[in-house]
Amino acid sequence: MSFFKKLKESISNQTTSVTEKFKEGLTKTRDSFAGRVNDLVYRYRKVDEDFFEELEEILISADVGVSTVMELIDELKDEVKKRNIQDPRDMHSVISEKLVEIYQGDFDEENSLNLQETGLTVVLVVGVNGVGKTTSIGKLAHKLKQDGKSVLLAAGDTFRAGAIDQLEVWGERVGVSVIKQSEGSDPAAVVYDALQAAKSRQVDVLLCDTAGRLQNKVNLMKELEKVKRVIEREVPGAPHEVLLVLDATTGQNAMSQAKTFTQATDVTGIVLTKLDGTAKGGIVLAIRNELNTPVKFVGLGEKMDDLQEFDPEQFVFGLFSDMLEEAEERKED
């Protein structure tokens, strides 16, 4: 069975709306990245060194990341030799296949949230200001509620003006209570209050917002460590997830933020926002491959349900489905 048919079969058990969301949300990246790949395979008569050099440039400009690109190009060259590929148009499925492989790699873990079967699940949400952290918490709360979970929010970002109000607006919108103190309060104290409330109300999931901008990296680390200590003391084994929110439109800057936060705390997953707003969706692969951290959710639009669990197959299908379909039809002819 061809890669395209396997891919279609693999995503067929998911709802059509999810597939459409990925296709729609990746329009900018598809028009830029996939469009340039398509142009490349039709301009070349053979798969040679010049072809790979140009492909390398396309991948780097899509923010795939230099080390990931080098690895991918080497693997593609090996595959071309192995399969004796002469026609550049046969490269569509090989490139797509390798992108899925690079994302999944040797990692068996699920992209889904580590929710506890019994008792409270505590999720710590970190990230710099302006990346869409509070919005992501609101959308995640909505998603969990849709899945039948009871949710509570902790307004732990007490330093940014308006952060508490913004979280409250989201709480009202999705019908979830927010535990808060006044602006400038100790974030660890807010989280402590929220933990007590979550336990007494027997909620399923507590989502904790955290400060996104402190004077320097040392302060940021100390603050996060303090919050984590309180969580660990009150709920052994928690936090069950530490989600880092990154803005896809900032490209390599998002990578440097990710490195800072992974040094400060044990990040278990990435929430990549505004993927629909960038032509450089290759950042998804760079994050996975270079940080060894799974992308768990992606923002594919402004609507409440546009925060989707990340699926590498849906991602590749969203990017290359038109081209793969065309390649498939050409084979059959």
- CATH number for 32: 1.20.120.140
Considering the domain architecture, whether residues 79 and 192 belong to the same structural domain is answered as no
Q: How much is the average pLDDT of 200-208?
A: 98
Whether residues 302 and 157 share a domain: the answer is: yes
Residue 25 marked ligand-binding: no
Residue 282, annotated as binding a ligand: no
Q: How far apart are CA 252 and CA 286, in angstroms?
A: 9
CATH number of domain containing 181: 3.40.50.300
What domain count does the chain have?
Answer: 2
Structure tokens at 129: 């200001």
Regarding whether 322 and 307 lie in a shared domain, the answer is no
State yes or no: 288 annotated in a binding site.
no
**Where is pLDDT greater, at 216 or 63?**
63
Instruction: Compute the average pLDDT of residues 225-249.
Output: 95
Residue 214 has pLDDT above 90, yes or no: no
Indicate whether 1 belongs to any domain. Answer: no
| Residue 28 structural domain | 16-108+314-332
Element (H, E) at 144: helix 133-146
pLDDT of 98: 86
Nearest Cα to 80, choosing from 109, 55, 115, 43? 55
**What does DSSP assign to residue 162?**
T
What totals of helices (H) and strands (E) does the chain contain, helices first? Answer: 14, 8
User: pLDDT tens digits for 131-156?
Assistant: 999 999 999 999 999 999 999 999 99
Query: 167 and 50 share a domain?
Result: no
In this structure, what are the phi and psi dihedrals at residue 273, rounded to the nearest 5 degrees? -90, 165
98 assigned ligand-binding residue: no
Calpha distance 114→240 (Å, rounded): 6
Confidence of residue 215 (pLDDT cuts 50, 70, 90): very low
Looking at the fold, whether 252 and 146 belong to one and the same domain comes out as: yes
> What percentage of the chain reaches a pLDDT higher than 70?
92
Between CA 251 and CA 247 the distance in angstroms is 8
Kindly provide the b/e burial profile for residues 242-253, where b requires at least 16 CB atoms within 10 angstroms of the residue's own CB: bbbbbbbbbbee
Q: How many Å is the Cα radius of gyration of the chain?
A: 21
Q: pLDDT at residue 87 above 60?
A: yes
Task: Round to whole Å and give the CA distance between 152 and 138.
Answer: 11
276 marked among binding-site residues: yes
The reply to whether 132 sits in an annotated binding site is yes
CA–CA gap between residue 248 and residue 127 (Å, rounded): 13
113 within some domain = no
- Please name the amino acid found at residue 241: E
209 is in an annotated binding site: yes
Q: Is 127 annotated as a binding residue?
A: yes
User: Is 178 assigned to a binding site?
Assistant: no
Q: Do 130 and 278 lie in a common domain?
A: yes
Across the chain, mean pLDDT equals: 88
According to the annotation, is 219 in a ligand binding site? no
Q: Within this chain, do residues 133 and 264 fall inside the same structural domain, yes or no? A: yes
Whether 101 is covered by a domain: the verdict is yes
What torsion, rounded to 10 degrees, do the Cα atoms 247, 35, 111, 196 define? 20
Residues 42 and 165 placed together within one structural domain of the fold: no
Q: Are residues 230 and 98 in the same domain?
A: no
**Together in a domain, 91 and 125:** no
213 belongs to an annotated ligand binding site: yes
The answer to whether 274 is annotated as binding is yes
Among 200-214, 241-255, 278-292, which is the least confidently predicted range? 278-292
Residue 162 labelled as part of a binding site: no
Q: Which residue has the higher pLDDT, 166 or 6?
A: 166
Q: Tell whether 126 is covered by a domain.
A: yes
Q: How many whole angstroms separate alpha carbon 185 and alpha carbon 276? A: 35
Strand arrangement of the beta sheet that strand 177-179 belongs to: 177-179, 151-154, 205-209, 121-126, 241-247, 269-273, 295-299, 307-309
Residue 130 sits in the same domain as residue 69? no
Q: What's the pLDDT score for residue 105?
A: 63
129 is in an annotated binding site: yes
Q: CA dist 93 to 7, 37, 144, 209, Å?
A: 10, 12, 35, 41
- The pLDDT assigned to 58 comes to 93
Q: Is 16 flagged in the annotation as binding?
A: no
**DSSP 8-state assignment for residue 275:** G
Tell me whether residue 204 is annotated as binding. no
Identify whether residues 47 and 138 lie together within a single domain.
no
Say if 11 falls within a structural domain.
no
Q: Is residue 301 a known part of a binding site? A: no
